[in-house]
Amino acid sequence: MITSPGNETLALVRKLSQRRWREKLGLFVCEGEDLVEAARAEPVALLRAGENVEARLLAAVGSAAHPPRVIGVYRASDLPAPERRPVTLALWQVADPGNLGTLVRTADAFGAALALSDRCADPTGAKALRASAGSIWRVPLLRFEPRGEPAGAGRRVALVASGGAPLHTLDLRGEVVFCLGAERAGLPGAVERDADATIELCGAESLNVAAAGAIALYEWARQNRA
């Protein structure tokens, strides 16, 4: 039973709250029973309140609003390897971890891959992992470069707030990469694309990037099931 806050495993969990340490060590933390149960790999360390660590100590290293009953430490190398998927969401500098995690979950729902540019949020950060609801273990993560294809390949369709062809009018059959930027900044002109698409709205001026990604994947799935 761990009874000291200076325990090395607890110290590791505290370190992994910072992105630089996650990247340096190649490790990340899953908090809570749902995320740990969703894991598809053996943990490097597994802490359970009242079993092998005092509950107060586990609560002290948790990041969620409610104290976790379990925390697991996992290797980033055990996440899905990059692989070709018929559809990919390519995210340009989407820095909000909640949006990123939601897009991981959405990609999982439609069998999509996710490609990330520089300056995107870390998908293995605590907030992104919670929003992904365990989908991080089923979605391949690729590299998104402004020019050239991410590993998902396919026709590039940029989602823009205005000025593009209505999304439902584009032929989305076959392999497609949807390119999305953060809500305020959008996509820079340097991002190569084959077409611009706009989701037609009745009221609001724009959509949250996670909502836009979900609509794009739904339209892709609708056309490819026809």
DSSP 184: T
DSSP 117: -
DSSP 107: H
Using alpha carbons, list the distances in angstroms from residue 1 to 13, 37, 48, 50, 124. Answer: 16, 22, 10, 8, 28
Q: For residue 65, what are the domain limits?
A: 8-78
Domain boundary among 21, 50, 78: 78
Question: In angstroms, rounded to a whole number, what is the distance separating the alpha carbons of residues 2 and 34?
Answer: 23
Question: Which stretches of the chain score pLDDT less than 50?
Answer: none
Domain boundary among 25, 43, 78: 78
Question: In angstroms, rounded to a whole number, what is the distance separating the alpha carbons of residues 152 and 53?
Answer: 42
So what's the pLDDT on residue 182?
82
Residues 30 and 125 occupy one common structural domain: no
So what's the pLDDT on residue 226?
67
**Residue 1 within any structural domain of the chain:** no
So what's the pLDDT on residue 95?
95
Residues 166 and 207 occupy one common structural domain: yes
**Residue 126 within any structural domain of the chain:** yes
Question: In angstroms, rounded to a whole number, what is the distance separating the alpha carbons of residues 116 and 181?
Answer: 10
Question: In angstroms, rounded to a whole number, what is the distance separating the alpha carbons of residues 103 and 90?
Answer: 10
Residues 52 and 126 occupy one common structural domain: no
So what's the pLDDT on residue 53?
95
So what's the pLDDT on residue 187?
86
Residues 98 and 45 occupy one common structural domain: no
Q: CB neighbours (10 Å) of residue 183?
A: 17
> Could you tell me the CATH number of the domain that includes residue 12?
3.30.1330.30
- pTM of the predicted structure, to 2 decimals: 0.93
Residues 143 and 111 occupy one common structural domain: yes
The pLDDT tens digits of the residues spanning 103-133 come to: 999 999 999 999 999 999 999 999 999 999 9
Number of domains present in the structure of the chain? 2
So what's the pLDDT on residue 120?
96
The pLDDT tens digits of the residues spanning 139-165 come to: 999 999 887 665 556 799 999 988 899
